[in-house]
Amino acid sequence: MTRFVLAKSLRALVTMLIAVTLVFVFIRLSGDPAAALAPPDVGQEVIDQVREKLGLDRPLWQQYAHYVGSLAQGQFGYSIHTGRPALELFLDRLPMTLLLGGTALAIAILVGVPLGVLAALTRGSAVDRFAMAFSVFAFAMPNFFFGIVVILVGALGFGLFFGGVAGSQSLVGLIAPAATLGLAAMGAFARFARSSTLETLNKPFMIAAEARGVPWLRRLIHHAVPNAAIPLVTLIGLSLGGLIAGSVVTEQVFAWPGVGQLLVRSVETRDIAVVQFIVLVVAFTMTLANLVVDLLYLAIDPRIRVR
Amino acid sequence: MAQRTHVPISVLLALGFIALFVLFALFGEWLSDHSFRATSLFARLKPPAFLGGDPDYLLGTDQKGRDLLARLAVGAQITLIVAVVGTLIGAVLGSLLGMLAAARRGATEVTIMAAVDVQASLPIIVVALFVLAVFDNSFSLFLLLVGLTGWEVYARLVRGATLSAQEHGYALAIRALGASPVRVYLLHILPNVLNVVLVQFTVNLPLTVLLESALSFLGLGIQPPLTSLGQIMSEGRDRLLTAWWLTVLPGAIVFLLALSVSLVGDWLRDRLDPTLTQRRG
């Protein structure tokens, strides 16, 4: 068991290190960072000064060591445009993104999972067919298009204007973008909850429980749900990537002042320090989430501990 | 094996839409008398003909007086090219890497699977945004980036399938006969893992379409004078409440395309995956 935890942690660490290395390589490939960071219309001496200050005149491996070292010390560089630390810009935006993402995940779980379980319990019924149609719909629906339809219907049909800081302060102003962001995950949860429940319901231990005369509801809650929940834990962990990716677009559609909007704006203005920092944060968050899912598996499914 | 196949209506409709989309992408420009780039100050923001607009502009015009029908046709063309070529890039790259990992084992396998892990912990849209921030956007770079969608899934699937396929009697027999490794893997093992690749291809194609549209919608994908469905949406967004057709029409096409391909893909997966058929009884 300790070996399992150690192996998984080591793997996460290596993944993170490779991500850091790739970011370093790509930034170095892009051209001369000194010329990009120096003020415009300055002479060669100034650019050389910047280069020396950034350590860009040293061998590449020293630069790399310096880069990893400064990341480890929490120095993530400064935004070219505002002059503020990338970390600070990110932290300013983080609460709004967490609010949006958290609400989206909650909506996705609260709607998707019961829908999928219900579909499995009433297999072949109209509910089941609706749930499956919904999951296909949710997968194929681009969030930027759905968001636009939501904005359009809200504005023309109900006189509600979503988007911007003002929009984010009302409950409807939160639900509309959160439902847009959570739609894809909702469909995936419904589909997985359905297949996972169906699979569990057909397991021998369920038949055995029925034969022993265990009441229906008890069978469902004590026998079926814990077993069906195992793949769902993974799925919720894995849906994080989709939520992060989706928030980039959703925040843009709803003018939501979060990290996704900051990322897009920084890419447009080529604010490399900010972009690089957000990319590293995403890699770190998702690597950590994958690790947590692996370890949670250990807690939920005792069979893994034996191996 | 030779039983009559029952094709559900939804799949037929989906196939119909895909055929229509391809035809529209190939020949749609002929439906309009206007070039997709021709601007006209006198014909700005005309509503579609079905909303009482000018019959000369069937689907109306945008803020520069450009014909939406012609733009949608060209946009569909670019979206189709990026989707098909992009998905092919990911499928070929991922499958070859997955097969290489299974064939070589050792350090090669460790390296490839580490790369897979890294990709799995970075959403492709974030990778694409990072690369677009660092390098100048060009059509070929964008195509490559979109092509990276899901390569790691192919790599994982094909590695698994190859690991089991190469232990089969036929693979051992061909190797014993002295065939070169390239021959063994590309001519004998590849056809046996192709099922997996084909199913994943249909899962990936809509994702590629959505990534292309999303990036172009953000203004970071296809750049003018070229256009794509996402780019048309992005240009029309500022006038959403006054000229909704500029965003809703291309958006609806993207949605229906992704939906149709997923429906066909789901159906194909059920037909190709024998374990699913058995479970269904």
What is the CATH number for B237? 1.10.3720.10
Residue B254 within a domain: yes
Search chain A and give the residue with CA nearest B256.
A140
Q: A146 and A180 in contact (C-beta within 8 Å)?
A: yes
- Residue A203 above 60 pLDDT? yes
User: Looking at the partner chain, which of B115, B218, B237 has a beta carbon nearest the beta carbon of A249?
Assistant: B218
- Residue B199 above 70 pLDDT? yes
- Residue B2 above 50 pLDDT? no
Whether residue B259 and residue A136 make contact (CB cut-off 8 A), yes or no, is yes
CA distance B84 to B146: 10
Search chain A and give the residue with CA nearest B113.
A15
Whole-model pTM: value is 0.85
Whether residue A142 and residue B251 make contact (CB cut-off 8 A), yes or no, is yes
- Residue A158 above 50 pLDDT? yes
Whether residue A141 and residue B118 make contact (CB cut-off 8 A), yes or no, is no
The three-class DSSP label of residue A255 is: coil
The three-class DSSP label of residue A305 is: helix
Query: Mind listing the pLDDT tens digit for each residue in B206-236?
Result: 889 999 999 999 888 888 888 888 889 888 8
CA distance A63 to B187: 46
What confidence score (pLDDT) does residue B155 get? 93
Residue B4 within a domain: no
Interface test with A, best of B126, B261, B266 (most A CBs within 10 A): B126
Chain B residues inside the 8 Å CB shell of A26: 130-131, 134
- Residue B261 above 60 pLDDT? yes
Q: A133-163 in b/e burial notation, b at 16+ Cβ within 10 A?
A: ebbbebbbbbbbbbbbbbbeebbeeeebebb
Mean of the pLDDT values across residues A37-58?
70
| pLDDT over 70, % of chain A | 90
CA distance B38 to B218: 24
Residue B2 within a domain: no
Mean of the pLDDT values across residues B67-78?
87
The angle subtended at Cα B207 by Cα B206 and Cα B212, nearest 5°, is 100
A165 or A19, higher pLDDT: A19
B146 or B166, higher pLDDT: B146
Q: A290 to each of A33, A99, A236, how far by Cα in Å?
A: 33, 21, 10
Whether residue B233 and residue A26 make contact (CB cut-off 8 A), yes or no, is no
Is A198 an interface residue toward B (CB < 8 Å)? no
What's the CATH number for A86-306?
1.10.3720.10
Mean pLDDT of chain A: 83
What confidence score (pLDDT) does residue A77 get? 78
Report the first-to-last Cα separation within chain A, whole angstroms: 8
Kindly indicate the confidence band of residue A305, based on its pLDDT and cuts at 50, 70 and 90: low
Q: B123 and A242 in contact (C-beta within 8 Å)?
A: yes
What confidence score (pLDDT) does residue B278 get? 44
Lookup: tokens for A254:
């709803």
Kindly indicate the confidence band of residue B277, based on its pLDDT and cuts at 50, 70 and 90: very low
Whether residue A145 and residue B237 make contact (CB cut-off 8 A), yes or no, is no
Is A304 an interface residue toward B (CB < 8 Å)? no
Q: Is the peptide bond before B47 cis (omega within 30 degrees of 0)?
A: no
Q: B202-240 in b/e burial notation, b at 16+ Cβ within 10 A?
A: bbbbbbbbbbbbbbbbbbbbbeeebbbbbbbbbbbbeeb
Mean of the pLDDT values across residues B15-29?
90
| Number of domain units in chain B | 1
Whether residue A144 and residue B214 make contact (CB cut-off 8 A), yes or no, is yes
Whether residue B255 and residue A141 make contact (CB cut-off 8 A), yes or no, is yes
What confidence score (pLDDT) does residue B280 get? 41
The residues in A 105-144 lying below 8 A from B, measured between CB atoms, are 136-137, 139-144
Residue B71 within a domain: yes
Query: Where do the structural domains in chain A lie, given as residue ranges?
Result: 86-306
What confidence score (pLDDT) does residue A263 get? 92
- Residue B198 above 70 pLDDT? yes
What confidence score (pLDDT) does residue B106 get? 86
Residue B76 within a domain: yes
> Which parts of A2-124 fold into alpha helices (H)?
2-29, 33-37, 44-53, 60-72, 86-121
Residues 6+ apart with CB under 8 A from A179: A104, A107, A150
Kindly indicate the confidence band of residue A101, based on its pLDDT and cuts at 50, 70 and 90: very high
What confidence score (pLDDT) does residue A270 get? 83
Chain A residues inside the 8 Å CB shell of B210: 142
Query: Mind listing the pLDDT tens digit for each residue in A7-22?
Result: 888 888 988 888 888 8
Kindly indicate the confidence band of residue B254, based on its pLDDT and cuts at 50, 70 and 90: very high
- Residue A304 above 70 pLDDT? no
- Closest-CA distance, A189 to chain B, in angstroms, reads 17
Interface test with A, best of B116, B122, B156, B256 (most A CBs within 10 A): B122
Mean pLDDT of chain B: 84
- Residue A168 above 70 pLDDT? no
Domain that residue B18 falls in: 10-280
